[in-house]
Amino acid sequence: MSFVSHVECTICGDRHDPKRLLTVCARCGQMLVVRYDLERVKTSVSKDALRQRPPGMYRFRELTPLDDGEEPVTLGEGGTPLLPLSRLGAHLGLRRLFAKDEGRNPTGSFKARGLGMAITRARTLGARGFVIPSAGNAGGAAAVYAARAGLPCAVVVPRGTPPAAIAEAQIAGAHVFTVEGSIANAGKVVTTIAPQLGWFDLSTLKEPYRLEGKKTIGLELAAELGWRMPDVLLYPTGGGTGLVGIPKAYAELLAMGWLAGALPRCFAVQAEGCAPVVRAFLDGAETTTAWESPTTHAAGLRVPSPFAGRQMLRVLRETGGGAVAVSETAIQGAQRLVAQLEGIWTAPEAAALVAALTVLKERGDVARDTEVMMIFTGVGLKYEPPPLDAPVELAGTDAEILAQVKRVIRP
Ligand SMILES: *Cc1c(COP(=O)(O)O)cnc(C)c1O
Ligand SMILES: [Zn+2]
């Protein structure tokens, strides 16, 4: 038996039947969330029992929407390392700095969690194929899990999407289409074609299952920190699944009595070239408005009109957090810095968090002893690298080669 009690609208509160394949609220068109019978979860599983299970996101099965006996479509999502970043922390003047390295998921990004869950549930509830608008990683992950589920998939991406993500989708047999503009234009195409194809629309937060996959980051973090929450959480924000999902995980664990205290202060980090959440936060607005001509090489942050603007702003305000936009050069510099100090080639979206830390430190939003958690959402290897020196070509006699090496490395 599943532990789901119902599915509820985040805005009007209307209840929906969890046994049906759901999209958005039938009454008001807003985002839906899955709710659980947390009392029953609490009496059915213990922290000790969880520890005995194999690692991965289905360790927390009772807090997922899976039915009893439902086999997940899985490639081993979750169970990613929580890394203390002491060298980067020392550089930035922070004593308790951590990253959850989501680049270690199948497909190299945390999209694997959300799409693994969404495709599992949608297939069980009758979906016959999938369509998704994407900035890259979501399309790749959707294609991969659709392949594993034995169902067809179409991916619509803006022109200029990182080639590795397109290849990832194509090699898994998905149909990939490109459009001009941003993911917003891709989303419009998906809205048109999904009902015509009869395939399920996996657009960010326009169905309630993907959030439950992303939420498992928060469940893992809670367990990994010894059933505590960090002081501050930094999230590279596009559509905002994790920004909404991680606090949801904490809230559920708080309601179960497995955690105590205040939610971490949550900060949305965006690129200066596309910062609708930052702008809305600073304006005191209730929701986001479309960002004109979005530009950033951090593909996952190029989301000019996120569907869940209201829900994200609510998280930032209710937790006493905030929002920061960083420049492209700051992102590139941060990407090199994390790689050099910690050995992690993280995605530009995640590097934006490191760039934002400098700003937050200066502003006094984080102090030397603040426990800071960053979600490193993807692996850098899937993207064009930041500007680097060309390797020096060695040629000639041994003496010449040695001279060439010594020009680079001065012992
Ligand atoms: C999709 C993506 C993001 C943004 O995530 P949202 O949940 O859409 O806000 C950040 N980083 C990477 C690497 C991504 O693929
Ligand atoms: Zn509603």
For residue range 98-112, what is the model confidence (pLDDT) as tens digits? 999 999 999 999 999
Structure tokens at 190: 């998906």
Q: How far apart are CA 215 and CA 114, in angstroms?
A: 8
- Chain segment 180-206, per-residue pLDDT in tens: 999 999 999 999 999 999 999 999 999
- The CATH number for 82-108+209-382, chosen from 3.40.50.1100, 3.90.550.40, 3.40.50.880, 3.40.190.10, is 3.40.50.1100
Average pLDDT over all residues of the chain: 97
Instruction: Indicate the pLDDT class of residue 120, thresholds 50, 70 and 90.
Output: very high
pLDDT higher than 80, residue 83: yes
Q: Which residue has a Cα nearest atom 3 of ligand 1? A: 300
The pLDDT value recorded for residue 79 is 98
Instruction: Note whether 166 and 194 are within 8 A (CB).
Output: no
Please write the tens of the pLDDT for every residue from 129-185: 999 999 999 999 999 999 999 999 999 999 999 999 999 999 999 999 999 999 999
Residues 230-252, mean pLDDT to the nearest whole number = 98
pLDDT at 1: 64
Q: What is the mean pLDDT of residues 44-69?
A: 96
Q: Indicate yes or no: pTM above 0.95.
A: yes
- Atom in ligand 1 nearest the alpha carbon of residue 236: 10
Distance 206 CA to ligand 2 centre (A): 12
Residues with CB under 6 A from ligand 1: 109, 111, 137-138, 204, 236-242, 300, 347, 349, 377-378
SS3 annotation, 221-278: HHHHCCCCCCCEEEEECCCCHHHHHHHHHHHHHHHCCCCCCCCCEEEEEEECCECHHH
Phi (first) and psi of residue 308, to 5 degrees: -100, 35
Q: Which residues of 213-238 are buried (b: 16+ CB within 10 A; e: fewer)?
A: bbbbbbbbbbbeeeeebbbbbbbbbb
pLDDT at 172: 98
Residue written as token pair 């994200």 = 312
Tokens of 145: 């899990």
**Residues ≥6 apart with Cβ < 8 Å to 364:** none
Please give the number of the atom of ligand 1 that sits closest to the Cα of 349.
Answer: 11
pLDDT tens profile 274-316: 999 999 999 999 999 999 999 999 999 999 999 999 999 999 9
Convert the pLDDT of each residue in 350-364 to its tens digit.
Answer: 999 999 999 999 999
**Residue type, position 64, single letter:** T
Is 49's pLDDT higher than 90? yes
Measure 240 CA to ligand 1 centroid, in angstroms: 7
d(CA 170, CA 134): 14
Among residues 126, 191, 181, 124, the alpha carbon closest in space to that of 154 is found at: 191
Domain parsing of the chain, residue ranges: 82-108+209-382
Per cent of the chain over pLDDT 90 is: 99
From residue 76, alpha-carbon distances to 79, 186, 239, 339 in Å are 8, 29, 24, 25
